């Protein structure tokens, strides 16, 4: 995904300069609509999605997923300073291990459910 845009820009700049890139048959000019180029970008998108999935995957430890303060703050859309305040006030469960703060995903979910307020009506 992130490479897709960069490579498309390179390809478009090549096409705008009308450089005569040749395909395997050596008789067809390669441009952004060429079957081989479209196929290449589709393959690149699939590879990029697979890499992104692998990069975000964390195996469970003892059946539990743990998150860093950065991951929790991103997911909850709060600052890391707010998380620190919540820890200090006992509003959020956490694990302090060797200078690293970790949160159980199940604890975060439980906190959200405890604080959920249903709409009136």
For residue 119, being part of any structural domain is answered with no
Do 77 and 40 reside in the same domain of the chain?
A: no
Q: How far is residue 65's CA from residue 103's CA, in Å, rounded to a whole number?
A: 8
Model confidence over 50-60: pLDDT tens digits? Answer: 888 777 766 66
For residue 85, being part of any structural domain is answered with yes
For residue 90, being part of any structural domain is answered with yes
Q: Are 75 and 66 in contact (CB under 8 A)?
A: no
For residue 77, being part of any structural domain is answered with yes
Of 73, 59, 62, whose CA–CA distance to 101 is shortest? 73
Place of tokens 């450089």: 19
Q: How many domains does the chain have?
A: 2
- pLDDT truncated to tens, each residue of the chain (121 aa)? 444 555 555 555 555 544 444 445 556 677 878 888 888 888 888 888 888 877 776 666 788 889 999 999 999 999 999 999 999 999 999 999 899 999 999 999 999 999 899 998 7
Do 78 and 45 reside in the same domain of the chain?
A: no
For residue 47, being part of any structural domain is answered with yes
Which residues is 67 bridged to in the sheet?
A: 103
For residue 33, being part of any structural domain is answered with yes
Do 42 and 19 reside in the same domain of the chain?
A: yes
Who's near 100: CB < 8 A, 6+ residues apart? 68
Who's near 64: CB < 8 A, 6+ residues apart? 104, 105, 106
pLDDT confidence of residue 1: 43
Range of the domain at 95: 66-114
pLDDT confidence of residue 2: 47
Do 23 and 48 reside in the same domain of the chain?
A: yes
Q: Is 77 helix (H, G, I), strand (E, B) or coil?
A: coil
Model confidence over 14-37: pLDDT tens digits? Answer: 555 444 444 455 566 778 788 888
For residue 91, being part of any structural domain is answered with yes
């Amino acid at each position: 995904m992130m490479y897709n845009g960069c490579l498309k820009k390179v390809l478009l700049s090549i096409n705008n300069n009308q450089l005569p890139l040749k395909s395997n048959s050596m008789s067809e000019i390669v441009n952004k609509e060429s079957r081989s180029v479209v196929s290449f970008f589709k393959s690149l998108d699939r590879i990029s999605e697979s890499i992104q999935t692998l990069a975000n995957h964390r195996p469970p430890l003892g059946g539990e997923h743990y998150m860093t303060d950065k991951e929790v703050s991103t997911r909850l859309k709060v600052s890391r300073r707010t998380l620190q305040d919540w820890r200090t006030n006992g509003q959020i469960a956490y694990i302090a291990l060797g200078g690293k703060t970790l949160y159980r995903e199940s604890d975060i979910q439980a906190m959200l459910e405890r604080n959920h307020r249903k709409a009136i009506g």
